[in-house]
């Protein structure tokens, strides 16, 4: 692998206007500089640069949509094969992760609560820990990672990487409270009462969207997000139908194949498949069939019922065909997710939109003073790198907010001291 990575790095043209960075990467990773440092024997410095810009660099190197981001904008791809940028980034950032040692600013004496330990929560925790804040992370599951751990299959993102992050967070002095859901025994008000001066919500989207069709509660029908949390708990049988057309549907199908089912089919409602071409290619080599223009109508114990749809070349519906019964031992619904409502039910002042997503301003501030949010709980089901991008901005806004609180408190103390002197 090392020779391959070095050869790929040597192909970099060190473009003056690197589109891989400026157009392709949501967090503007300095790819040419990363490669330059790597080839100069300064891998540790390259790793430090990557981590400072994107604390989840090693994760993004594995799960980003590279063909439409960095690789897709590589100038070498116009006349041949694009540089395999993620393999270089992974080689550097994976080796650096265990060496990370953040330079913390002096302790500011201010507590911050992070609700959720997914990509948004981890990014905020690291960025604010660097700035000297006392961080406690609250996670409703037993380990950190959020959707990265419980929603991305291990063959795409090994769980050991997330275990290393958990250890690194603790090394940074960040407290982690597992199996603790805010909105259960503890509420937002409790956090402020206990001295937290700011709260970040990055709880992700864990509530599966329903089709609201007949038979959805049958014993052989399951939701994708539930299945991916623990595939070994399910006995799906040999023939499995997947309802959906995105990367999540592909993740489920490829996991089902690895768990032993032999006949796995994805059914998409329209002609267009939302999943990336690379994911579709992997599905094909895994022997997964994809049926397009099949709209789910009903769930039965024998399998799902679909209404085939006929579209013209512009994607306009021409007609519906007669419903067809498809045999399947099990059916999995993979049509995205929304946020759970534990926090919302116990925080009536927290404003949400019609989808239940938290409403924020341009700086991540919610309708409750001192409460910030970003990630999927704000934008809906997206990806890791976008969560990092916006969470970096929110971390800066939280630092500004906390700094103002601290200054106001110090000015108040000075004013009180001055008044006392005048009385004497």
| Domain 2-97: CATH class, spelled out | mainly alpha
Q: In the chain, which residues fall in CATH 1.10.1060.10?
A: 2-97
Mention every residue, 6+ apart, whose C-beta is less than 8 A from residue 316: none
Q: What is the 3-state secondary structure (H, E, C) of 245-260?
A: CCHHHHHHHHHHHHCC
Tell me the CA distances in angstroms from 68 to 31, 63, 73, 127, 248, one per residue in order. Answer: 15, 12, 7, 28, 17
Relative orientation angle of helices 159-171 and 119-130, to the nearest 10 degrees: 30
CB-based contact 391:372 (threshold 8 Å): no
| Domain 210-335: CATH class, spelled out | alpha beta
pLDDT tens digits for range 226-258: 999 999 999 999 999 999 988 899 999 999 999
Q: In the chain, which residues fall in CATH 3.50.50.60?
A: 111-207+341-410, 210-335
Q: Which residues are paired to 176 by β-bridges?
A: 137
Q: State in Å, rounded, how far the first CA of the chain is from the last one.
A: 76
Q: What secondary structure letter does DSSP report for 182? A: B
Distance from the Cα of residue 367 to its chain's centroid: 23
**Nearest CA among 16, 63, 12 for reference residue 37:** 12
pLDDT bucket at 315, cuts 50 / 70 / 90: confident
Flag whether the pTM goes above 0.85. Answer: yes
CATH code of 111-207+341-410, in short, is: 3.50.50.60
Question: Tell me, what's the pLDDT at 423?
Answer: 47
CB-based contact 366:372 (threshold 8 Å): yes
Question: Tell me, what's the pLDDT at 424?
Answer: 40
Per-residue pLDDT, averaged over 276-302, amounts to: 94
């Amino acid at each position: 692998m090392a020779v391959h990575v070095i050869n790929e790095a040597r192909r970099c043209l060190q473009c003056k206007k690197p589109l891989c960075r400026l157009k392709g990467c949501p967090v503007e990773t300095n790819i040419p500089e990363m490669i330059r440092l790597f080839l100069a024997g300064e891998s540790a410095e390259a790793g430090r640069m990557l981590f400072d810009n994107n604390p989840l660099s090693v994760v993004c190197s594995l799960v980003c949509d590279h063909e439409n981001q960095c690789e897709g904008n590589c100038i070498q791809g116009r006349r041949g094969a694009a540089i395999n940028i993620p393999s270089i980034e992974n080689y550097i950032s994976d080796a650096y992760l265990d060496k990370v040692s953040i330079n913390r600013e002096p302790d500011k004496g201010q507590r911050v609560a992070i609700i959720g330990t997914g990509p948004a929560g981890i990014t905020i925790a690291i960025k604010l820990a660097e700035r000297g804040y006392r961080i406690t992370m609250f996670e409703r599951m037993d380990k950190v990672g959020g959707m990265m751990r419980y929603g991305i299959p291990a063959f795409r993102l090994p769980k050991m990487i997330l275990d290393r992050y958990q250890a690194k967070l603790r090394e940074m002095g960040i407290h982690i409270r597992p199996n603790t859901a805010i909105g259960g025994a503890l509420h937002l008000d409790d956090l402020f009462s206990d001295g937290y001066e700011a709260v970040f919500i990055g709880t992700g989207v864990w509530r599966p969207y329903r089709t609201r069709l007949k038979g959805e509660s049958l014993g052989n029908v399951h939701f994708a997000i539930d299945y991916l949390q623990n595939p070994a708990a399910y006995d799906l049988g040999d023939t499995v139908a997947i309802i959906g057309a995105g990367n999540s549907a592909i993740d489920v199908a490829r996991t089902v194949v690895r768990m032993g089912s032999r006949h796995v089919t994805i059914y998409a409602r329209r002609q267009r498949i939302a999943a990336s071409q690379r994911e579709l290619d992997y599905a094909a080599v895994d022997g997964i069939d994809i049926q397009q223009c099949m709209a789910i109508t009903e769930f039965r114990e024998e399998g799902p019922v679909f209404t085939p749809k006929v579209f013209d070349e512009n994607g306009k519906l021409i007609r519906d065909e007669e419903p067809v019964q498809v045999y399947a031992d099990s059916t999995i619904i993979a049509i995205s997710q929304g946020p759970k409502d534990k926090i919302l039910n116990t925080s009536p002042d927290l404003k949400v939109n019609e989808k239940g997503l938290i409403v924020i301003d341009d700086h991540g501030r919610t309708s409750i003073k001192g409460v910030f949010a970003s990630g999927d709980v704000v934008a809906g089901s997206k990806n890791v790198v976008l969560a990092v991008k916006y969470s970096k901005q929110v971390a800066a806004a939280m630092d500004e907010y906390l700094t103002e609180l601290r200054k106001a408190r110090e000015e108040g103390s000075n004013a009180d001291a001055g008044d006392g002197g005048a009385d004497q």
